Amino acid sequence: MSDGVTLAQEAGSRDPAIGLRAVRALRELAERLEALQVASARDKGWSWQQIAVCLGVSRQAVHKKHGGGRRILKKER
Protein backbone atom coordinates (compact mmCIF):
# COMPACT_ATOMS: atom_id res chain seq x y z
CA MET A 1 0.00 0.00 0.00
CA SER A 2 1.42 3.34 -0.98
CA ASP A 3 2.29 6.07 1.47
CA GLY A 4 -0.35 8.23 -0.10
CA VAL A 5 -3.07 5.73 0.74
CA THR A 6 -1.75 5.27 4.29
CA LEU A 7 -1.70 9.00 4.78
CA ALA A 8 -5.19 9.28 3.44
CA GLN A 9 -6.39 6.54 5.78
CA GLU A 10 -4.84 8.25 8.77
CA ALA A 11 -6.41 11.52 7.80
CA GLY A 12 -9.69 9.74 7.20
CA SER A 13 -9.75 8.17 10.61
CA ARG A 14 -9.25 11.52 12.27
CA ASP A 15 -11.48 13.74 10.19
CA PRO A 16 -15.14 12.82 10.66
CA ALA A 17 -16.08 14.68 7.49
CA ILE A 18 -14.02 12.33 5.35
CA GLY A 19 -15.12 9.26 7.28
CA LEU A 20 -18.78 10.17 6.98
CA ARG A 21 -18.48 10.97 3.28
CA ALA A 22 -16.86 7.58 2.80
CA VAL A 23 -19.77 5.91 4.61
CA ARG A 24 -22.27 7.69 2.40
CA ALA A 25 -20.33 6.80 -0.73
CA LEU A 26 -20.09 3.16 0.35
CA ARG A 27 -23.82 3.02 0.95
CA GLU A 28 -24.50 4.55 -2.46
CA LEU A 29 -22.04 2.16 -4.08
CA ALA A 30 -23.71 -0.82 -2.42
CA GLU A 31 -27.16 0.38 -3.54
CA ARG A 32 -26.07 0.75 -7.14
CA LEU A 33 -24.36 -2.63 -7.19
CA GLU A 34 -27.43 -4.21 -5.62
CA ALA A 35 -29.70 -2.74 -8.30
CA LEU A 36 -27.39 -4.04 -11.05
CA GLN A 37 -27.03 -7.49 -9.53
CA VAL A 38 -30.72 -7.94 -8.76
CA ALA A 39 -31.70 -6.91 -12.28
CA SER A 40 -29.10 -9.29 -13.68
CA ALA A 41 -30.29 -12.16 -11.49
CA ARG A 42 -33.90 -11.59 -12.54
CA ASP A 43 -32.84 -11.56 -16.19
CA LYS A 44 -31.14 -14.90 -15.60
CA GLY A 45 -34.39 -16.28 -14.23
CA TRP A 46 -33.68 -16.14 -10.51
CA SER A 47 -36.68 -16.03 -8.21
CA TRP A 48 -37.14 -13.25 -5.69
CA GLN A 49 -36.69 -15.89 -3.01
CA GLN A 50 -33.26 -16.92 -4.32
CA ILE A 51 -32.16 -13.31 -4.54
CA ALA A 52 -33.45 -12.57 -1.06
CA VAL A 53 -31.51 -15.49 0.43
CA CYS A 54 -28.26 -14.22 -1.14
CA LEU A 55 -28.86 -10.70 0.09
CA GLY A 56 -29.87 -11.89 3.54
CA VAL A 57 -33.22 -10.15 3.50
CA SER A 58 -36.84 -11.27 3.18
CA ARG A 59 -38.38 -11.99 -0.19
CA GLN A 60 -40.94 -9.26 0.47
CA ALA A 61 -38.21 -6.73 1.16
CA VAL A 62 -36.29 -7.42 -2.03
CA HIS A 63 -39.45 -7.51 -4.12
CA LYS A 64 -40.71 -4.24 -2.66
CA LYS A 65 -37.39 -2.56 -3.33
CA HIS A 66 -36.69 -3.87 -6.82
CA GLY A 67 -39.96 -5.34 -8.03
CA GLY A 68 -41.45 -2.17 -9.46
CA GLY A 69 -39.14 -2.36 -12.42
CA ARG A 70 -39.60 -2.08 -16.09
CA ARG A 71 -39.24 -5.73 -16.94
CA ILE A 72 -40.34 -6.86 -20.33
CA LEU A 73 -40.84 -10.48 -19.44
CA LYS A 74 -43.13 -10.65 -16.47
CA LYS A 75 -41.84 -13.34 -14.18
CA GLU A 76 -43.57 -14.84 -11.21
CA ARG A 77 -41.81 -14.82 -7.91
32 binds another protein, rule: CB under 8 A? yes
Nearest CB to another protein, comparing residues 32 and 76 = 32
Q: What is the smallest separation between the CB atom of 76 and another protein, expressed in angstroms?
A: 25
| 8 Å CB contact between 75 and 48 | no
Residue type at position 21 = R
| 8 Å CB contact between 71 and 42 | yes
28 binds another protein, rule: CB under 8 A? yes
64 binds another protein, rule: CB under 8 A? no
Closest to 60 in 3D by CA, of 41, 38, 40, 77: 77
61 binds another protein, rule: CB under 8 A? no
